[in-house]
């Protein structure tokens, strides 16, 4: 089924569209709604394993896959966001709310799919950093490289046995090689 979206849109118009949470999710930037590509096996495995590894730690952070983040005029759905537990929005019963967040996540992780352009996800990471995010990872499974973004500095290109930096308080000990080792079945 082809969905036709009138362009340009306002953020408010976009957020009222009934299908933006369909899979794969829709994102909004600069008046345009764009559907994310369907993730493949490498993408899904890395997303699952990395989120699980972060959440298995005794840290003041929690990883959420595919959580809508609406801030600074954009509405994006990163592959993983890592939030400080005190920032996780809850309802009056103390249950995590399902509508996403309205601020930049502390740590945003994007995993490239083969048909996904690097520029769009890079721009989303930079947007997050400009609005209070502390770190972004761009993982490219085909190139086996991780670009690490932080505010006010050039990105670091990490490969092979380089240790992946995390937020303070997240004691994830992981090299790039170990990360991509999760792609093997054995």
**What φ, ψ does residue 141 adopt, rounded to 5°?**
-65, -30
Percent share of the chain, pLDDT over 90: 73
Instruction: Check residue 36 and report its DSSP letter.
Output: P
E strands in the chain: 26-29, 32-35, 61-65, 69-71, 74-76, 80-84, 107-111, 135-140, 145-149, 156-158
**What φ, ψ does residue 131 adopt, rounded to 5°?**
-115, 25
Over residues 101-125, the mean pLDDT reads 93
Give residue-wise pLDDT tens across range 62-84. 999 999 999 999 999 999 999 99
Token representation of residue 99: 């509508």
Over residues 101-121, the mean pLDDT reads 93
**Which one has a higher pLDDT value, 111 or 117?**
111
Give residue-wise pLDDT tens across range 145-155. 999 999 999 99
Give residue-wise pLDDT tens across range 6-47. 678 899 999 888 878 888 889 999 888 888 888 889 999 999
pLDDT for residue 1:
47
| Average pLDDT score, the chain | 92
pLDDT for residue 114:
80
CATH topology classification for 37-181: tt1808, chain A (3.90.1570)
pLDDT at residue 97 tops 60:
yes
Range with lowest mean pLDDT among 19-23, 119-123, 177-181: 19-23
Q: 118 near 129, Cβ under 8 Å? A: no
Give residue-wise pLDDT tens across range 139-178. 999 999 999 999 999 999 999 999 999 999 999 999 999 9
pTM over cut 0.95: no
Separation of CA 94 from chain center: 24
């Amino acid at each position: 089924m082809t969905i036709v979206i009138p362009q340009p849109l306002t953020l408010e118009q976009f957020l009222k569209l009934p299908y933006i949470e369909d899979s794969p999710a829709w994102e909004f930037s600069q008046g345009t709604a764009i559907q994310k590509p369907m993730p493949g096996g490498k993408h899904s495995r890395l997303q699952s394993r990395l989120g699980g590894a972060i959440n298995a730690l005794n840290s003041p952070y929690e990883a959420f896959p595919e959580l809508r983040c609406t801030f600074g005029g954009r509405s994006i759905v990163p592959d993983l966001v890592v939030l400080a537990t005190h920032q996780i929005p809850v309802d009056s019963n103390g249950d995590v709310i399902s509508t996403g967040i309205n601020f930049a996540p502390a740590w945003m992780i994007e995993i490239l799919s083969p048909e996904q352009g690097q520029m769009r996800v890079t721009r989303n990471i930079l947007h997050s950093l400009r609005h209070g995010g502390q770190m972004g990872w761009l993982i490219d499974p085909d190139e086996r490289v991780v670009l690490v973004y932080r505010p006010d500095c050039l990105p670091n290109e990490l490969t092979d046995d380089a240790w992946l930096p995390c937020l303070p308080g997240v004691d994830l000990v992981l090299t790039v090689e170990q990360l991509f080792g999760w792609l093997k079945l054995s």
